Amino acid sequence: MVTFVQTFHLSYQQKINARSFGPDFLWGVAIAAAQNEGAYNVDGRGLSIWDTFSRRSGKIKGGAKPTEACDFYYRYKDDLMLVKALGFTVFRFSISWSRILPEGMGRVNKEGIAFYHKLIDECLQLGLVPYVTLYHWDLPHELQKNGGWTSHQMLKWFTRFVTVCSEEYGNNVKNWIILNEPMGFTSLGYMLGMHAPGKTGLGNFLPAVHNAALCQAEGGRIVRALVGKANIGTTFSCSEVIPYTQKEDDILAAKRADALLNRLFIEPALGRGYPQEENFPFLEKLHLYNKAWKYTERMKFNFDFIGLQNYFPITVKYNALIPYLHASEVKAATRKVPHTAMGWEINADSFQRMIKRFWLYGGVKEIIVSENGAAFKDELVNGVVDDTQRIDYFQQYIAAMLRAKKEGVNVNGYLAWTLTDNFEWSEGYAARFGLIYLDYKTQLRTIKNSGYWFRDFLRQA
């Protein structure tokens, strides 16, 4: 019986290809300015918090810096050709705020503006649909000096940035993503101090969360007002949270982690205010905002789509030593389940459940999987990167997405993370997520076997 089920599962997986998703399904790749562009100090660009954080923190593997990254600023034409060659039709990238507004506010940098015009034009010429992320974690350093995401001025700063971008690019770009994973940058950057700007504690985290929730909705309103026929989304990271045992303590720990990881930003966006979770004093301060009608309204925006970003589920158990949350993760390696080089559990069924769960919220009109992918220890041997584990990962996750679609979820796009190996934040250049292998010394690109797999998968559409 087991053999039969496994065989069936396998042959089912092999049969699917892009065509199984219908002709309108979007297939693309996603990148981000700070992770790919490099050229950190040319053509008038101001510094971002990742430039300064990487210089001083000692918190990035190998002391890596995003100064050159994938040199995308100079090689974007080649990279777009590769996107095209692999058969994708959507290209998601982000705009570096400090390239456009070197001080974060005030003066506009014409050369920065020009770069994204060239990039967008090139996409359009190649028939690639641009999806533009407004904020992918690279706040201008000048704004961080004044508190960054914790500052009550954040809304004003963000309004300026979004206004400039919408007015400049709105004629040619219709698909906009307001924030990339607000839970990611507020928790890692303003609570745990692992990401730029390296701030810690609730005193930083809670205001950062609130300002991000406000900017997320306000950004949507600005693009709606300034860009005709805009298709507006924002992205949420999500990870199913599984209790380690069925003991009550573990179950409650999982609920707290779930409120934080999966509910903190979507619920205010849907107009429900911050998540209400019993026994979780951590969130009480935010609940004060729920009581103020103006905030509940201002954090709400009628997004045309939400971008879901899912990589792995987490298993948690009660842990009295962890402040506020009283929960800690039981790693995939400890539980001896399949995992990637990041230590992230590979579990496509969990991906299917999360897609369905976000859909069942009600009020979500369309889901685009705006990121999904995996890092493995890739090696370039005689010009070949035989990354079978990544192919297997994509096969499993894409099949799970199809199951969710067949269950009635309006999921209409999938953007693989990512095009080339790139600057993976605090992992530096150690984690390779690309469909294309990057030799960081020579900038030579080599399509991995997973890239060729994708090309064949898409060709059959």
From the CB of 177, what's the least distance to ligand NOJ, in Å? 10
58-77 b/e with 16+ CB inside 10 Å = b? ebbeeebbbebbbbbbebbe
Amino acid at 77: K
- Please say if 371 is a catalytic residue: yes
From the CB of 340, what's the least distance to ligand NOJ, in Å? 10
In the numeric block, which tokens belong to residue 5? 């089920």
d(CA 91, CA 113): 19
Query: Contact with ligand NOJ (CB under 6 A): which of 144, 166, 180, 347?
Result: 180
Comparing CB distances to ligand NOJ, the nearer of 309 and 395 is: 309
Helix, strand, coil shares, percent, the chain, to 5: 45, 15, 40
Query: Contact with ligand NOJ (CB under 6 A): which of 181, 250, 267, 345?
Result: 181
Near ligand NOJ in 292-311, by CB under 6 A? 309
Helical (H) or strand (E) element with 233: strand 231-238
From the CB of 196, what's the least distance to ligand NOJ, in Å? 12
Comparing CB distances to ligand NOJ, the nearer of 79 and 181 is: 181
Near ligand NOJ in 398-417, by CB under 6 A? 417
Comparing CB distances to ligand NOJ, the nearer of 168 and 181 is: 181
Near ligand NOJ in 367-386, by CB under 6 A? 371
d(CA 422, CA 290): 39
From the CB of 93, what's the least distance to ligand NOJ, in Å? 12
Catalytic residue among 168, 218, 371, 424: 371
- For 87: left if phi > 0, alpha if psi spans -120 to 50, otherwise beta; the answer is left
Near ligand NOJ in 217-256, by CB under 6 A? none
In the numeric block, which tokens belong to residue 440? 């960081």
Per rule CB under 6 A, is residue 138 in the interface with ligand NOJ? no
Could you give the angle at which helices 348-360 and 388-406 cross, rounded to 10 degrees?
Answer: 30
d(CA 408, CA 352): 12
Comparing CB distances to ligand NOJ, the nearer of 133 and 395 is: 133
Query: Contact with ligand NOJ (CB under 6 A): which of 18, 26, 29, 32?
Result: 32
Comparing CB distances to ligand NOJ, the nearer of 29 and 283 is: 29
From the CB of 22, what's the least distance to ligand NOJ, in Å? 27
Catalytic residue among 37, 181, 240, 345: 181
Strand ranges of the sheet holding 327-329, from the earlier edge strand across to the other edge: 241-243, 314-318, 327-329
- Please say if 181 is a catalytic residue: yes
Comparing CB distances to ligand NOJ, the nearer of 283 and 416 is: 416
d(CA 198, CA 79): 31
d(CA 234, CA 57): 29
Q: Locate all alpha helices (DSSP H) within 37-191, ordered by sequence.
A: 49-56, 72-85, 97-100, 110-126, 141-144, 154-169, 182-190
Near ligand NOJ in 432-451, by CB under 6 A? 433
Q: Count CB-CB contacts under 10 A for residue 323.
A: 9
Query: Contact with ligand NOJ (CB under 6 A): which of 250, 267, 387, 424?
Result: 424
Comparing CB distances to ligand NOJ, the nearer of 21 and 344 is: 344
Residues with a known catalytic role? 181, 371
Binding footprint of ligand NOJ on the chain (CB under 6 A): 32, 35, 180-181, 309, 371, 417, 424, 433
